[in-house]
Amino acid sequence: MKKTSVFLTFMCIALTGLLTGCAHQKNLSLWNEKAPAKEALISYVKAVTDKKSPDFIPAQDRIAIFDLDGTLMLETDPTYFDWLLFEHRVLDDPNYQASEEQIAAARASREQGIFPELNDNRERMVSEAYKGLSLDAFYNFVRAFMEEDQTGFTHMKRGDIFYKPMVQVVEYLLKNGFSVYISSGTDRLTVRPLVEKNLPDIPVKQIIGSDSNFVASGQGDKDALSYVFEASDEVILGGKNLVKNLQMNKVATIVREIGAKPVLAFGNSISDASMLNYTINNNKYKALAFMLSCDDLEREYGNLEKAEKMRDASKKYGWISVSMRDDWETIYGKDVKRRN
């Protein structure tokens, strides 16, 4: 009886471990079975959520942070969502009187594929395009744009551009007690409606992005320190860019807005490097960083040169490389096809 009891106990433990492993695999079912990044993430989550493990992390310290463009959603069709939104505001919105500078920049990108370099001038133009809008008016503008067709793909709206395997990663982490934050170079107000639709379990307070200023509707030219918000006021966009949330600024916003170091970080470009390195270096907990490589030229508008640079950077800094081409069974779903 004792031998039988020991044998049954052993079998129960083994079966429990097997079922647990299967459950983890099922949660990431859109990833190829032997994808190294998938195996690394599953192994990590098992370790840090097991109270008996030396790598156990209390739930309150299980913080994961994700970049947005190119990490959670489409980045280049033909360019960033926020710049396409700017084009739409300047060239298509009858309610907006654009400046000659804005029109020239928007036409150059739409008609000639000439996208302005990231600089203060570009960010100024974008912020100015929405000056005076209330929060609700801006959100509605973004949501309406999300309902338009994503021109480079079949059967996809602009608001449906999230990578399904990465959505699974977020859902998997949430199920395992992680707090998930998004840290984007896109303006945080633009990010909110996109996340609301595609990742509704991430609270709005956990969305970090670039920022423009806010003013009261009755404030006029008065300084914020000398103006008192009145009952008749509403918050409107002030049209002045404050910070572009990229590179070291991502570390600064983590310190400022989260107040604790993440243990998982996900990015797709060198502008995420500081965030990934901050996460994995000098962390009191076991920590990992994942770098997506945009190497799929059939299902996505990939960039092999950039993908190779990100793989090289991953080797240099100790990040785990993710191949969209090799690691994912699908990107947007079986009905979505790249047009050209």
How many Å apart are CA 212 and CA 190, to the nearest integer?
Answer: 11
DSSP helix/strand/coil, 307: helix
Q: Name residues whose C-beta falls within 8 Å of residue 250's C-beta, 6 or more positions apart in sequence.
A: 183, 208, 271, 272, 274, 275, 278
Q: Are strands 207-216 and 63-66 parallel, antiparallel or unpaired?
A: unpaired
In which band, very low, low, confident or very high, does the pLDDT at 1 lie, cut at 50, 70 and 90?
Answer: very low
Which has the closest alpha carbon to 172: 13, 23, 3?
Answer: 23
Contacts of 289 (CB under 8 A, 6+ apart): 264, 265, 266, 267, 276, 277, 279, 280, 317, 318, 319, 320
Cα–Cα distance measured from residue 304 to residue 140, given in angstroms and rounded to the nearest whole number: 36
In whole angstroms, what separates CA 301 from the centre of its chain?
A: 18
- Asked if the model's pLDDT at residue 247 lies above 90, the reply is yes
Distance, in Å, from the CA atom of 92 to the CA atom of 77, rounded to the nearest integer, reads 18
Topology of domain 28-76+156-211+243-327 in CATH is Rossmann fold (3.40.50)
Q: Per-residue pLDDT averaged across 198-224, rounded?
A: 97
Average pLDDT, integer, range 328-334: 97
Check residue 124 and give its pLDDT. Answer: 97
77 — alpha (psi -120 to 50), left (phi > 0) or beta?
A: beta
pLDDT for res 23: 61
pTM summary value? 0.92
Radius of gyration of the chain (CA): 22
pLDDT, tens digit, for every residue of 127-159? 999 999 999 999 999 999 999 999 999 999 999
Examine the pLDDT at 235 and tell me if it is beyond 70: yes
Residue 184 has a CB neighbour count (10 Å cut-off) of 25
What is the model's pLDDT at position 238?
Answer: 98
DSSP state of 59: G
Average pLDDT over residues 115-127: 94
235-243 and 288-293 as β-strands: parallel, antiparallel, unpaired?
unpaired
Q: Rounded distance, CA 193 to CA 145, Å?
A: 11
